């Protein structure tokens, strides 16, 4: 690691780079996009709600006269992910792809239009498909950064019931989705390396950050949402600080491919970027290979590495 602590002031110039951030309309994605724009990157805000995205873009433009653009994506919809990739301008090489969009603790089981459990669809499967489809647009030294969570540590992949059709637990489904995304990030880097590619895959988590994640109007009312809000407002760190490990993974020259970064404080809940603890189940290569194969089947997206 470089000198300590690493802050947004340490982000090297991103002039000449293009970054795509999913879920950039709020929270960590917004802060990540804002900091990347501040460092001179051309940033594409990949958002579900264009009006909300336009407000986010306007807020960033007020601070930085950066080259910002807005494109619509619903990571919970394979059709939307495919449209995003199909409409991607061929001449726009991507240097940083930040897989950040996410939802948490959806109180009752919901399905995406593809028939997937909604948290798995939004947080993981959509990002798996997006990365595979955008692979040809990634520049030779691109970084793909997956935003996982402390919650991955108590997650497990339920291969026998990935979509929680038999029994549903809001937190368990969230943990599985974040574990899946981290396993994907690590497996992607192994595969890229094996293929001799200069593209790197890294992962990060924000600790506990005060964002909109437990403030969704459409999900209000459930006990878990209230408890989540209370805990995060008590001990959560500001979203801009929670974004630091993501920014470190995306920009720090010393961040290692295949690395996972999070805050350096107690329980990795808050603080400044450092290598983060990876739970043993996330390091299970056989399970990662199996998850990859299942994800290809479910999404219909095959990676050309
Ligand atoms: N906050 C934390 O402490 C924490 C901890 C660990 C991990 N994380 C992870 O950090 C990431 C960002 O979360 P956050 O805390 O910043 O929450 P947030 O403030 O709720 O932001 C989430 C973003 O994702 C977008 N999004 C949600 N569903 C989407 C979909 N189907 N398609 C496209 N975009 C979608 C949201 O757009 P809309 O506003 O339009 O819904 C919003 O821009 C998530 O992956 C989350 O799991 C957060």
Written as tens digits, the pLDDT of the chain (305 aa) is 555 799 999 999 999 999 999 999 999 999 999 999 999 999 999 999 999 999 999 999 999 987 899 999 999 999 999 999 999 999 999 999 999 999 998 889 999 999 999 999 999 999 999 999 999 999 999 999 999 999 999 999 999 999 999 999 999 999 999 999 999 999 999 999 999 999 999 999 999 999 988 655 444 456 666 776 777 777 889 999 999 999 999 999 999 999 999 999 999 999 999 999 999 999 999 999 999 999 999 999 999 88
Ligand 1 atom, smallest distance to 80 CA: 32
Q: Which of 124, 174, 261, 272 is catalytic?
A: 174
Write the residue with the smallest CA distance to atom 43 of ligand 1.
Answer: 23
Query: What pLDDT sits at residue 111?
Result: 97
- The tokens describing 52, both together, are 């909300």
Does residue 242 lie within any of the structural domains? yes
Given CA atoms 34, 73, 99, 123 in this order, what sign does their dihedral have? positive
Question: Which pLDDT value is given to residue 232?
Answer: 74
Quick check: CB of 26 below 6 Å from ligand 1?
yes
Question: Given this model, what pLDDT does residue 133 score?
Answer: 98
Token pair of 210 as six digits: 């005060």
Provide the domain count of the chain. 1
Distance 195 CA to ligand 1 centre (A): 32
Residue 1 lies in a domain: no
42 part of a folded domain: yes
Residue 204 within a domain? yes
Reduce the DSSP state of residue 21 to 3 states and report it: strand
Q: Tell me if 73 CB under 6 Å of ligand 1.
A: yes
For ligand 1, say whether the CB of 76 is within 6 Å of any of its atoms: yes
Two tokens, residue 280: 């043993």
DSSP letter, residue 224: H
The whole-angstrom separation of Cα 301 and Cα 82 is 10
Distance 110 CA to ligand 1 centre (A): 17
Compute the distance between CA of residue 207 and CA of residue 189 in angstroms, rounded to an integer.
23
Tell me the CB-side half-sphere exposure of residue 50, using CA atoms within 13 A.
Answer: 5
Residue 182 lies in a domain: yes
What CATH number has the domain bearing residue 236?
3.40.50.720
183 DSSP 8-state letter: H
Is there an atom of ligand 1 within 6 Å of 206 CB? yes
Cβ of 276 less than 6 Å from ligand 1: no
What domain range is 168 assigned to?
16-299
Residue 125: phi and psi, rounded to 5, are -60, -40
Active-site residue, 168 included:
no
Rounded CA separation 230/86 (Å): 41
Identify the bridge partners of residue 69 per DSSP, sorted by sequence position.
44
The answer, yes or no, to whether any atom of ligand 1 lies below 6 A from the CB of 42, is no
Q: Is residue 5 part of a domain?
A: no
Of 22, 26, 149, best ligand 1 pocket probe by most atoms within 8 Å of the beta carbon = 26
On whether residue 99 sits in a domain, the answer given is yes
* Centre of ligand 1 from the C-alpha of residue 216, in Å: 10
Instruction: Specify the DSSP element, H or E, that contains 85.
Output: helix 78-86
What is the model's pLDDT at position 39?
A: 97
d(C-alpha 91, C-alpha 226), whole Å: 45
Question: Regarding beta strands 94-99 and 138-147, do their DSSP bridges make them parallel or antiparallel, or are they unpaired?
Answer: parallel
Nearest to 69 by CA among 90, 92, 98: 92
Spatial distance between the Cα atoms of 18 and 93, rounded to a whole number of angstroms = 7
Domain membership flag for residue 289 = yes
Q: What's the confidence (pLDDT) of residue 216?
A: 52
Residues 210, 211, 216, CA angle at the centre, nearest 5°? Answer: 130
Q: Are 45 and 53 in contact (CB under 8 A)?
A: yes
Collect all residues with Cβ–Cβ distance below 8 Å to 283 and sequence separation of at least 6: 186
């Amino acid at each position: 690691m470089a000198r300590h602590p690493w802050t947004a002031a340490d982000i090297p110039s991103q002039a000449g780079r293009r970054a795509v951030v999913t879920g950039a309309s709020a929270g960590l994605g917004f802060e990540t996009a804002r900091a990347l724009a501040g460092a001179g990157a051309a940033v594409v805000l990949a958002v579900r709600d264009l009006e909300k995205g336009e407000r986010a873009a306007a807020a960033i433009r007020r601070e930085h006269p950066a080259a910002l653009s807005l494109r619509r994506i619903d990571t919970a919809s394979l059709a939307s992910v495919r449209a995003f990739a199909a409409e991607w301008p061929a001449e726009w090489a991507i240097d940083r792809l930040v897989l950040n969009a996410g939802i948490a603790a959806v109180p009752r089981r919901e399905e995406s239009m593809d028939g997937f459990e909604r948290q798995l669809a939004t947080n993981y499967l959509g990002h798996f498909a997006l990365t595979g489809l955008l692979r040809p647009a990634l520049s030779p030294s691109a970084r793909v950064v997956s935003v996982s969570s402390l919650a991955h540590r108590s997650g497990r992949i339920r291969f026998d019931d990935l979509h929680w059709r038999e029994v549903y637990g809001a937190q368990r489904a969230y943990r599985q989705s974040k574990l899946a995304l981290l396993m994907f990030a690590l497996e992607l880097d192994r595969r890229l390396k094996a293929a001799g590619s200069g593209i790197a895959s890294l992962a990060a988590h924000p600790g506990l950050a005060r964002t909109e994640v437990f403030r969704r109007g459409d999900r209000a009312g459930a006990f878990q949402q209230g408890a989540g809000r209370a805990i995060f407002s008590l001990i959560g760190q500001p979203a801009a600080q929670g974004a630091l490990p993501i920014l470190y993974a995306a920009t720090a020259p010393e961040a290692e491919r295949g690395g996972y970064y999070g805050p350096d404080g107690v329980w990795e809940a808050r603080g400044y970027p450092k290598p983060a603890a990876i739970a043993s189940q996330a390091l299970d290569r056989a399970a990662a290979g199996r998850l990859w194969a299942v994800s290809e089947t479910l999404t219909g997206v095959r990676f050309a590495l």
